[in-house]
Chains A and B, each alone.
Chain A
Amino acid sequence: MTSTGTSAINTEMHVRVADITPVAAAIKRFTLVRTDGEPLPVFAPGAHVVVSMVDGGRLRRNPYSLMSSPTDTSKYEISVLRVDQSRGGSAFLHEQLQVGDALTISQPLNLFPIDNWGRRHLLVAGGVGITPFLPMMETMNAEGRPFELYYSIRSRPHGAYWSWLADRYGSRVKLAVDDEGDRVDYRALLINQPLGTHLYVCGPRPMLDHVLSVARGLGWPDENIHFELFLAPPPGVPFTVSLAKSQLEIAVEEHQSLLEAIEAAGVDAPYLCRGGACGQCETVVVHADGELLHNDHFLTDDEKTSGTKIMPCVSRFVGAGLTLDL
Chain B
Amino acid sequence: MSMTFNDETFRDDFTFRNSPAGIRRYPFPFHEDRYMYAVNIEPHLPGAAGTAYEHLIDVDEHYVAEMRDRALVLKEDPQRCQALPHMMAAQWDVLELLMTEKAAGYPDLFTLERNGDRWHWINRPLGIDDTFTFGDRSTLPYEPMEYIFRQAQGDFCIVDQRDDNLWMDAGIVTTQADWSLDFDIGMNFMEWHAPVPLAHQMGVFDRALKFLLNVQQGRPTRRLNWTMTVNARLDTSPENYHKWGPDKLTVTPENIGEKMHLRCELQSFWRLPRSNAILFPIRCYLIKFAEIATIPKWACRMHRVLQTIPDELADYKGFSRNRQLAIDYFAPFDHGQPTTPGTSPE
Contacts and interface: CB of A to CB of B under 8 A. Distances in A.
Contacts of B273: 41-44, 108
Contacts of A126: none
Given A70-B274, A115-B162, A5 B219 contact: no
Interface string B96-123: 1101110110000001111110000000
Interface string A260-281: 0000000000001000001110
A41 B218 contact: yes
B216 interface: yes
A120 to B, nearest CB: 13
A241 B233 CA distance: 58
A4 B100 CA distance: 7
Contacts of B111: 4
B218 A8 contact: yes
A6 interface: yes
A113 interface: yes
Contact of B112 (A4, A108, A143, A223): A4
A188 interface: no
A281 to B, nearest CB: 11
Given A116-B162, A223-B163, A5 B216 contact: no
B164 to A, nearest CB: 9
B214 A272 contact: yes
A2 B56 CA distance: 23
B18 interface: no
A140 B96 CA distance: 21
Interface in B220-267: 220
Interface in A67-94: 70-71
A2 B114 contact: yes
Contacts of B161: 113
Nearest to B219: A11
A8 B113 contact: no
A47 B218 CA distance: 14
Nearest to A70: B274
B163 A2 contact: no
A44 B87 contact: no
B220 A9 contact: yes
B334 to A, nearest CB: 39
B114 A117 contact: no
A6 B114 contact: no
Given A44-B275, A113-B161, A116-B160, A5 B114 contact: yes
Nearest to A39: B114
A263 B83 CA distance: 43
B217 A4 contact: no
A9 B96 contact: no
Contacts of A143: 89
Interface in B261-306: 270, 272-277
B217 A116 contact: no
B86 interface: yes
A47 B113 CA distance: 28
A151 B272 CA distance: 30
B97 A3 contact: no
B104 A4 contact: yes
Nearest to A12: B218
A192 interface: no
Contact of B160 (A43, A110, A117): A117
Interface string B191-205: 000000000000000
Nearest to A142: B135
Given A70-B274, A107-B219, A117-B86, A8 B56 contact: yes
Contact of B114 (A3, A71, A280): A3
A2 to B, nearest CB: 5
A43 B217 contact: yes
Contacts of B89: 116, 143
Nearest to B119: A5
Contacts of A43: 217, 273-274
B214 A278 contact: yes
B44 to A, nearest CB: 8
A46 B161 CA distance: 14
B274 A109 contact: no
Nearest to B217: A107
B113 to A, nearest CB: 6
B310 interface: no
Interface string A1-37: 1111111111100000000000000000000000000
Contacts of B210: 279
A137 B282 CA distance: 34
A8 B162 contact: no
B53 to A, nearest CB: 13
Contact of B100 (A1, A2, A7, A46): A7
A8 B114 contact: no
Most buried by B among A6, A7, A42, A43: A7
A19 to B, nearest CB: 23
Contact of B218 (A1, A11, A44, A117): A11
Interface of B: 45-46, 56, 86-87, 89, 96-97, 99-101, 103-104, 111-116, 160-163, 210, 214, 216-220, 270, 272-277
Given A70-B274, A110-B276, A116-B275, 11 more contacts: A4-B113, A4-B114, A5-B103, A6-B100, A8-B270, A113-B161, A116-B86, A143-B89, A272-B214, A279-B214, A280-B214
Question: Which 4 A-B pairs give the minimum distances between C-beta atoms?
Answer: A44-B276, A10-B218, A107-B218, A5-B100
Interface of A: 1-11, 41-44, 46-47, 70-71, 107-110, 113-117, 143, 222-223, 272, 278-280
8 contacts: A1-B116, A2-B115, A5-B99, A7-B101, A8-B97, A10-B217, A43-B273, A108-B273
